[in-house]
Amino acid sequence: MAKRIAIVEDDPDQRSNYVDAITRKGYDVTAYSSREDAISGFEKELPELVILDIILGDEVDAGFELCRELLSRAPSLPVIFLTERIKEIDKISGLRLGAWDYLPKPITLDYLAERISSLLRISEARSQSSATGSTSAKVIGDLSIDQEALLVSWKGSAINLSGTEFRMLAKLVRLPGHAVSYDTLMNATMQSLVTNNTINTHMRNIRKKFETIDPDFNAIKSEYGYGYRWSSG
């Protein structure tokens, strides 16, 4: 059965182009032009991945509001922001909400289709691993990290990281106790125009997710001016 993709985009030409390109890749695509239409559709059925513009009509933060509502219903739902708002504060806001990716317009349709395919593979691997039990996890103290399914648990409790957050954590724990540079962590995001502040925001988000499980969590150490270090001691 074809994976269900939802697109929320108020520009009719862009919306049509996205739908055509993604449908040609074999997905079942539903498109919405406004926040209200999207909410109505999502109440009937949630898709398996959502692409959101941020500005919808006169609502300058509609995409952020939709993301917040969607993830309150389905915390593991892959959400992609696709937008002309590329200021760092907007990226940080999207990441804090839990989006899996933040893509700037304009974008090539082939690249968009590839990102969708990649995130769906990750989502499916996570679901299968959760259902069957993972056998490929690496254990570092109280941390369990599965590179294949992009699954993380701390003290036996699952932690829902985005793909970007997972890749950064994987770089951090590859050599516990060793400092990892900002440049290395930037490469892990697989995004362009990443700044140290963006990395710091990712790290704060990762810490908060661990602290939700363990208020005393302190394994991620900041190396001032250089990067971060995972300390299991």
Question: Strand, coil or helix: what is 106?
Answer: coil
Contact yes or no for 30/41 (Cβ under 8 A):
yes
Task: Taking residues 127-152, report their average pLDDT.
Answer: 75
pLDDT at 51 over 70: yes
pTM of the model: 0.70
125-153 in b/e burial notation, b at 16+ Cβ within 10 A?
bbeebeeeebeebeeeebbbbbeebbbbb
**CATH 3.40.50.2300 location in the chain:** 4-123
Counting every residue written for the chain, the total comes to 233
**CATH 1.10.10.10 location in the chain:** 135-230
In the structure, what pLDDT confidence band is assigned to residue 102 with cuts at 50, 70 and 90? confident
Q: What pLDDT score does 129 carry?
A: 62
Segments of the chain assigned E as strands: 4-8, 28-32, 49-52, 79-83, 101-104, 137-140, 143-146, 151-154, 157-159, 179-181, 220-223, 227-230
Task: Taking residues 129-144, report their average pLDDT.
Answer: 73
Closest CA to 19 of 89, 103, 113: 113
- Residue where the block lists tokens 């059925």: 45
pLDDT at 135 over 70: no
Task: Taking residues 27-51, report their average pLDDT.
Answer: 95
Residue 82: both structure tokens together? 């696709």
In the structure, what pLDDT confidence band is assigned to residue 130 with cuts at 50, 70 and 90? low
CATH of segment(s) 135-230: 1.10.10.10
- What CATH topology corresponds to 4-123? Rossmann fold (3.40.50)
In the structure, what pLDDT confidence band is assigned to residue 34 with cuts at 50, 70 and 90? very high
88 vs 223: which has the higher pLDDT: 223
